[in-house]
A and B are shown apart, each in its own frame.
Chain A
């Protein structure tokens, strides 16, 4: 009965954010009450009943089922001989990397032959990893003109459902990987504890009132700014006018974000799972930082605080992975030297194990009777096919979960030149986001199984 009711309302929620907020309030309250009484930690099967309710009465309409997207950008690539398995399809023979992910064989697809066609061979192609922008727009670092990244494109469609549109988190990387619709980098949160506080900690009633005032005032200030930019536009050159218009579009977006925050500010935040506190997310190292970001994405998905998360992995330093005495970047320029490769593997293995931990958690947690994994598309990818040469070809790309029909090892392009954007179009179609072109791609990759 209850499930039925919620399903009906959730249809409306898809179309009307204002309504959704009120309903969310009720929902949150009931969850909170439940938690206070039960004192149970999130993630126990019982909680399922309390999790995003509108998915409960599943009538197999994908639009109603909440989906999540997690992107992990690996700045330093992978060693091809470890990453790509032998043989195609589900029966592939795993090498070093996939051996560590053997538990998840049925829930992942690893692609070979995907590329960023025409990209320069350099580190800053990180900028195009999730945007698949045309090569001519990424030739020089100073002149990158990017387009929207996959996470922000999806977040723009899903933002209305959750408190936070997207969580963009990262270690130290030289180039941002997340870009808004205007191609401007989205700042990345380097402090996991701050993300935890944003997800779970609320202020006092008085602070909430102040917050509402702050958001309204911010809104009217930004309104005024748009007017000023318009007037300024009439005094400057046409190129500047175009820039000011882009700025105005971004401001409109900021205003919507403020509106959304205002709608959510009174809704109590979910409680953090028992035994977790902001302190657990302090002082990240290279590896614990990765795990913290995975944990935060997991908690955010599980509590439906956001549906899109990004984690960018910067270079590890000596000591960051067990037995690593060379820095990861140094070791990545291995030139096939066995001792440097051995050092590079240490970082690679650590990254893979951290991913495996995340996939384990996603498979164990359930939502509406389904593993959370099946509703969470996880893309683990790098802009470097070969970090030793900075090659932009044959990129290591792994897609897990998300309810895809997984195909084991998929050889995406026989010539090794299939563009990565075609996979993004496929993913967007699967996620129910109708997109004709993405970055420089207009051709969707065919279903692989």
Chain B
């Protein structure tokens, strides 16, 4: 305290209160969260050397260290006591993503609740962050509606019949010609030909529906398989990509690209089956038409005949030998999966769901056949819907509640909880409701219960069920499946087989695709990828590129995780996760198609690590110009976990005056002359400038592209897009000498700089991971845990998966 008095009170006493901080009064304040946060800040400013400020008297280093260690041990003790008393992570609701997934697991089909439940904050670091998961009254009002969607799917009024069918390419062409108007029919005749039973497509069009291969309307939600049989022809041995889209809007009206469900490459060299599997959600604003279509996605990129140009390009040349897609046949099948639906069985067991007509025929010994059922009309089903039936309803109530409640609340219910729902359901039966209505009401109440809605529990070490939940929500974004629940029910779990083995098991499941997006993607900021649109001067920017950007980053993260590559790989890798579109953008030869794969960077490439991903370079620019400040901040914050501290309250805003400064560099040079700007900019600018060779969409540039409104002469060609002419501006200068004397001159220098800071990167990543997994950012007591976990991981080779396993084994993860 004496030291604080000596070195800090000059500004931060009751009289001074500089930056609205008086350590004098803080010292006598009741310890609480706010007071604690301020002391934490004081500790951090002292240990980073930011305080006392350079112009003030500095404590000798022994004294400074004493202040820091004393403060740190007090803070750690206080923080740990709070964790033990309150639980480390606060109670929180399921995020919208978790809610959709969890309801989807219960229903046995996907949901997209965008139109039903208010959305979560898109600005929050992770969607699991407790502090951003508040609930307004609108959330509570929406809950029963969301539950209804699930229940209506599980207990439909009419059976869901499997659809199965298809057509040949020739049949498709004949139908299109019949339906298209006369003028279009001529264009169509030239761009689509037939050979035997196949259709040969030479063009695609984003604004003429005739080129889309529309599939029959889907009668019910569920998983469907679409198989396209075909090949790429005359394509210089390259694949042609085919996209499966939700019909309704054409792609150019829907820049979010959310309607694209999948893109697959159709290879050359013989007719093969190309398979798609898609989930049609129970409810979704996107799926109103419930119709799918296939689009020959990359035909127009290889050849540019819009439908109207087709005559000129192809029509006059019957022997046209440009790329084409042969479609032999298309088949659709679904909903896939076992009957009866396992999701139904989990909740309702062997309870019958049938109509009166079905019951009478069954009791008469002649059950209705599938053909007879299909012959019934929707009016028939409305008059005589499927309903749950049982001989002795009272018995069924108890069985239903004890079966369904553990599924819905994701753990073993207490006796009191079982009684609560049994009473509720029996109450409905008692009031004259039949079993069907009673079980519906019971399930709805369960789906709107605290046990379903919240991640909550007593402070202290998680019990086995709670740990299984934390693991599964972390890596799958959804509740434990029956397998994990069964394992977690054993008394020696997780010691046997060990947490690490369990993590491997979870990550080995296809459901873990969720983790790479929800954690990896969001950690790197992909949720903000679409915030700005590139300027029109970037003529090479197209849907394919935008679609590919986040997939590169998420796929790369997954690949690193899968192979337990070192954390260093994240910032510097000699390979990339690319498709043909990105390869072109990055000037990497010999990669074709839209599907992704691992590609080694050719000699001389400047790429490597997420820092040179087009997605990251786009989201750290504003669409028009790049900003070394934003990129520098992104690196300090996301990669190194050292976000520049916002200026203390009361700091006057500095208004930069950039008149006369024509480059970003000159603008920032002006900034750094101001000492209060320089405090952060000396850290922000060097890594930012190192990436200055990448434009707003992540393309390489040696000179700036001048944005010229009005029709100025396009003076230069782009090396990676020779067909585009742009205005050439000044040369890019990246060389930047930091205060430390370190020279940053491009991505290679930045990479070597970051590689030297592996431990910081791993610690930052561990902190982010614990934030995502528990909903609570690292606390003071966690700092030591993170340091230890990272040290263990680095000692074992520093792999990404190893690191996550080491963090999972800390109290941060294992305690509430």
B129:A142 contact, CB within 8 angstroms: yes
With a cutoff of 8 Å between Cβ atoms, the chain A residues found around residue B650 in the complex are: 118
Given known contacts A224-B445, A239-B86, A330-B623, A184 and B123 CB-to-CB distance under 8 angstroms: no
CA distance A385 to B653 in the complex (A): 10
Whether a CB of chain A sits under 8 angstroms from the CB of B450 is yes
Given known contacts A221-B445, A229-B450, A237-B459, A330 and B646 CB-to-CB distance under 8 angstroms: no
CA distance A225 to B536 in the complex (A): 52
With a cutoff of 8 Å between Cβ atoms, the chain B residues found around residue A389 in the complex are: 653-656
Whether a CB of chain A sits under 8 angstroms from the CB of B135 is yes
A225:B132 contact, CB within 8 angstroms: no
With a cutoff of 8 Å between Cβ atoms, the chain A residues found around residue B138 in the complex are: 186-187, 254
Whether a CB of chain A sits under 8 angstroms from the CB of B622 is yes
Shortest Cβ distance from residue B78 to the other chain A in the assembled complex, whole angstroms: 14
Given known contacts A119-B649, A225-B450, A388-B655, A184 and B136 CB-to-CB distance under 8 angstroms: yes
With a cutoff of 8 Å between Cβ atoms, the chain B residues found around residue A221 in the complex are: 143-144, 444-445, 448
CA distance A222 to B107 in the complex (A): 22
Within A190-214, the residues touching B (CB, 8 Å) are 214
Shortest Cβ distance from residue A341 to the other chain B in the assembled complex, whole angstroms: 10
Within A221-256, the residues touching B (CB, 8 Å) are 221-222, 224-225, 228-229, 231-232, 235-240, 243-244, 247, 250-251, 253-254
Residues of B in contact with A, size category: 35 or more
Within B418-457, the residues touching A (CB, 8 Å) are 420, 424, 441, 444-445, 448-451, 453-454, 456-457
Which of A142, A217, A222, A392 has the most chain B CB atoms inside 10 A of its CB?
A142
Whether a CB of chain A sits under 8 angstroms from the CB of B125 is yes
With a cutoff of 8 Å between Cβ atoms, the chain A residues found around residue B125 in the complex are: 142
Within A97-144, the residues touching B (CB, 8 Å) are 118-122, 124, 135-136, 139-144
B34:A136 contact, CB within 8 angstroms: yes
A254:B137 contact, CB within 8 angstroms: yes
Closest A-chain residue to B88, C-beta based? A237
B136:A185 contact, CB within 8 angstroms: yes
Whether a CB of chain A sits under 8 angstroms from the CB of B412 is no
Whether a CB of chain A sits under 8 angstroms from the CB of B168 is no
A225:B649 contact, CB within 8 angstroms: no
Query: Of the 9-residue stretches A28-36, A81-89, A332-340, which lies at the interface with chain B?
Result: A332-340
Closest B-chain residue to A393, C-beta based? B653
CA distance A218 to B424 in the complex (A): 14
Within B696-736, the residues touching A (CB, 8 Å) are 707, 709
Within B103-125, the residues touching A (CB, 8 Å) are 118-119, 121-125
B20:A118 contact, CB within 8 angstroms: yes
Residues of A in contact with B, size category: 35 or more
Shortest Cβ distance from residue A385 to the other chain B in the assembled complex, whole angstroms: 8
CA distance A354 to B156 in the complex (A): 48
Closest B-chain residue to A256, C-beta based? B137
With a cutoff of 8 Å between Cβ atoms, the chain B residues found around residue A124 in the complex are: 123
Closest B-chain residue to A228, C-beta based? B450
A243:B653 contact, CB within 8 angstroms: no
Closest B-chain residue to A184, C-beta based? B134
With a cutoff of 8 Å between Cβ atoms, the chain A residues found around residue B656 in the complex are: 335, 388-389
With a cutoff of 8 Å between Cβ atoms, the chain A residues found around residue B652 in the complex are: 391, 393
Shortest Cβ distance from residue A198 to the other chain B in the assembled complex, whole angstroms: 13
A174:B535 contact, CB within 8 angstroms: no
Whether a CB of chain B sits under 8 angstroms from the CB of A448 is no
With a cutoff of 8 Å between Cβ atoms, the chain A residues found around residue B448 in the complex are: 221-222, 224-225
Within B631-676, the residues touching A (CB, 8 Å) are 646-647, 649-659, 661, 667
CA distance A247 to B445 in the complex (A): 17
B646:A327 contact, CB within 8 angstroms: no
With a cutoff of 8 Å between Cβ atoms, the chain B residues found around residue A393 in the complex are: 652-653
Whether a CB of chain B sits under 8 angstroms from the CB of A263 is no
Whether a CB of chain B sits under 8 angstroms from the CB of A435 is no
Q: Which of B87, B122, B140 contacts A225 (CB 8 A)?
A: B140
B144:A232 contact, CB within 8 angstroms: no
CA distance A236 to B416 in the complex (A): 17
Contact with B along A370-408 (1 / 0, CB 8 A): 000000000000000110111111000000000000000
Shortest Cβ distance from residue A23 to the other chain B in the assembled complex, whole angstroms: 26
A118:B649 contact, CB within 8 angstroms: yes
With a cutoff of 8 Å between Cβ atoms, the chain A residues found around residue B451 in the complex are: 228
CA distance A421 to B519 in the complex (A): 39
B659:A186 contact, CB within 8 angstroms: no
CA distance A383 to B652 in the complex (A): 15
CA distance A325 to B36 in the complex (A): 48
Which of A175, A214, A257, A327 has the most chain B CB atoms inside 10 A of its CB?
A327
Shortest Cβ distance from residue B6 to the other chain A in the assembled complex, whole angstroms: 27
Whether a CB of chain B sits under 8 angstroms from the CB of A326 is yes
Shortest Cβ distance from residue A139 to the other chain B in the assembled complex, whole angstroms: 7
Q: Which of A142, A236, A257 contacts B459 (CB 8 A)?
A: A236
Closest A-chain residue to B460, C-beta based? A237
Closest B-chain residue to A324, C-beta based? B709
- Which 5 residue pairs of A and B lie closest in terms of their CB atoms, listed nearest first? A335-B658, A187-B118, A237-B86, A184-B134, A391-B653
Interface residues of chain B, those whose CB is within 8 Å of chain A, are 20, 34, 85-87, 90-91, 118-119, 121-125, 129, 131-132, 134-141, 143-145, 416, 420, 424, 441, 444-445, 448-451, 453-454, 456-459, 532-533, 535-536, 622-625, 646-647, 649-659, 661, 667, 707, 709, 777
20 contacts between A and B (CB under 8 A): A121-B646, A122-B646, A124-B123, A142-B777, A174-B122, A176-B121, A185-B121, A222-B140, A224-B445, A224-B448, A225-B140, A228-B450, A236-B458, A239-B86, A243-B91, A254-B138, A325-B536, A327-B623, A327-B624, A329-B622
| With A140-B646, A218-B141, A335-B657 already in contact, 19 other A-B pairs whose C-beta atoms are closer than 8 Å | A122-B646, A135-B649, A136-B34, A139-B646, A141-B123, A144-B131, A222-B448, A225-B140, A228-B449, A228-B450, A231-B416, A240-B86, A240-B87, A243-B90, A244-B91, A318-B624, A329-B532, A337-B658, A391-B653
Interface residues of chain A, those whose CB is within 8 Å of chain B, are 118-122, 124, 135-136, 139-144, 174-176, 180, 182-187, 214, 217-218, 221-222, 224-225, 228-229, 231-232, 235-240, 243-244, 247, 250-251, 253-254, 257-258, 317-318, 325-327, 329-330, 334-338, 385-386, 388-393
